[in-house]
Amino acid sequence: MKLTTTLMATSALIASSLAAGAEDMTLVSWGGAYQASQQKAYAEPYMAMHPDVNIIWDESSAEAVAKLRAMAEAGNTTWDVVDVVAADALRLCDEGLAMPIDPDTQLAPAPDGTPASEDFGDLLVSECFIPQIVYSTTFGYRTDMVGDKAPESVCAIFDTETWPGKRSLEKRPIGNMEWALICDGVADEDVYDVLATEEGQARAFAKLDTIKDNVIWWTAGADTPQLLADGEVVMGSTYNGRLFKLIVEDKQPVAMLWDAQMFDLDGWIIPANLSDERKARALDFVYFATDTQRLADQAKYISYGPARKSSAPLVGKHAELGIDMAPHMPTDPANAKHTFLFNYDFWADYRDDLDAKFQAWVSK
């Protein structure tokens, strides 16, 4: 019995000590180097200014839509600010799970007074979405495994004769379907028209079929870097910031293949139906965290481009390595020779369809 009493007392003590203290604000993000850059660029300075707010992180961005939907259904939303990719933001906004934002009144203007709506420009793809970074899904390859012929085109992933070995691709249709069509001879500007048809979809799957047995499908951002570091794959797709860490910080024998990189956006949303108090706090945080200086600060820690035009000139050197960050940005002219623009409207309409088809195809 003594044991039990002690256990009870201890856990009660720990539980109460956890509950006490500043008010918690839950930010949801992706973990890893990306979340670390947000912690340093946004969360730490914010908490220094507001000692009464304690920011805690939840690495659930990958399941954000599912969890927000369940929370809304139960009427108990525990998240305050959520980092999602633009496609998820569109979906959340469509379903009324995210709160609409007026950029000009609720977000900071640029230092020269340009309103936020202009500063973010086209990147405001949804009325609920507050863009943060421009990133790209692109390829890395093992320099010591490609022989003397370094791949220069994205179609190298479909060329298993010249570059034998496994490739890693993301386990979802977005990106893979487009690359398959491009490498099957479809012009960039026609890709989405072709993909909207049954025949076009079959064509993309047929192209993917040619490498199906050579692919390791990844679901988490850390998978491809780990597979490349282990030499398990000869090339693989992932977010460019992950590859930056692998190549520049960890000095692995890996190089970037920027061809046909797929630009995408990542940013914040605020869940709908927060209490007024929490909503005000979330808006205050977002106002701070997406101003010109903060977005530029984040680029010190990770190679993603800031979403504001006014932040671009402020991007400097890496905080720890002291190297220039500009040549590592996906938007740098040398890297952006052949880029692919992601069509949000297309994917909003066809995502359900293609997701189901892709998942069935992949399980076969």
Nearer CB in complex with other proteins: 7/341? 7
The residue range among 104-112, 117-125, 213-221, 323-331 that interacts with other proteins, by the rule CB under 8 A, is 213-221
Run of H or E including 130? strand 130-142
In the three-class reduction of DSSP (H, G, I as helix; E, B as strand; rest coil), residue 50 is classed as coil
What tokens were used for 37? 């850059």
Is residue 349 involved in binding other proteins (CB under 8 A)?
yes
Between the alpha carbon of residue 327 and those of residues 243, 315, 332, the distances in Å are 14, 11, 6
The residue range among 13-21, 133-141, 176-184, 257-265 that interacts with other proteins, by the rule CB under 8 A, is 13-21
Alpha-carbon distance of 328 to 325, in angstroms, equals 5
Residues in the chain: 364
Q: Which of residues 235-254 bind other proteins (CB under 8 A)?
A: 250
Closest among 328, 321, 337, 297 to 36, alpha carbons compared: 297
Angle between helices 86-94 and 344-363 (to 10 degrees): 100
| Minimal distance, residue 210 CB to other proteins, in Å | 15
**Alpha-carbon Rg for the chain in angstroms:** 22
Is residue 18 involved in binding other proteins (CB under 8 A)?
yes
Contacting residue, 43, 89, 91, 174, with other proteins by CB under 8 A: 91
Contacting residue, 45, 109, 115, 231, with other proteins by CB under 8 A: 231
The residue range among 41-49, 131-139, 150-158, 216-224 that interacts with other proteins, by the rule CB under 8 A, is 216-224
Alpha-carbon distance of 230 to 159, in angstroms, equals 22
Nearer CB in complex with other proteins: 97/296? 97
| Minimal distance, residue 37 CB to other proteins, in Å | 12
Residue burial 194-207, b: 16+ Cβ < 10 Å; e: rest = bbeeeebbebbbeb
Alpha-carbon distance of 250 to 229, in angstroms, equals 9
Pairing relationship of beta strands 254-269 and 53-58 according to DSSP bridges = unpaired
| Minimal distance, residue 119 CB to other proteins, in Å | 27
Contacting residue, 22, 23, 44, 94, with other proteins by CB under 8 A: 94
Is residue 216 involved in binding other proteins (CB under 8 A)?
yes
The residue range among 15-23, 146-154, 179-187, 287-295 that interacts with other proteins, by the rule CB under 8 A, is 15-23
Nearer CB in complex with other proteins: 185/364? 364
Q: Which of residues 137-166 bind other proteins (CB under 8 A)?
A: 166
Contacting residue, 23, 96, 187, 197, with other proteins by CB under 8 A: 96
Q: Which residues pair with 135 in a beta bridge?
A: 264
Count Cβ atoms below 10 Å from residue 269 Cβ, excluding itself.
30
The residue range among 90-98, 153-161, 257-265, 334-342 that interacts with other proteins, by the rule CB under 8 A, is 90-98
Alpha-carbon distance of 133 to 264, in angstroms, equals 9
Tell me, residue by residue from 42 to 71, as one string, x for binding to other proteins by CB under 8 A and - for no binding: --------------xxxxx--x-xxx-xxx
Look up residue 271 and give its DSSP letter.
Answer: B
**Token pair 């973990």 is at which residue?**
31
The residue range among 44-52, 103-111, 259-267, 348-356 that interacts with other proteins, by the rule CB under 8 A, is 348-356
Look up residue 234 and give its DSSP letter.
Answer: S
Is residue 321 involved in binding other proteins (CB under 8 A)?
no
| Minimal distance, residue 349 CB to other proteins, in Å | 4
Nearer CB in complex with other proteins: 241/306? 241
What tokens were used for 5? 């009493």
Alpha-carbon distance of 248 to 233, in angstroms, equals 19
Is residue 23 involved in binding other proteins (CB under 8 A)?
no
Query: How many positions of this chain bind other proteins (CB under 8 A)?
Result: 72
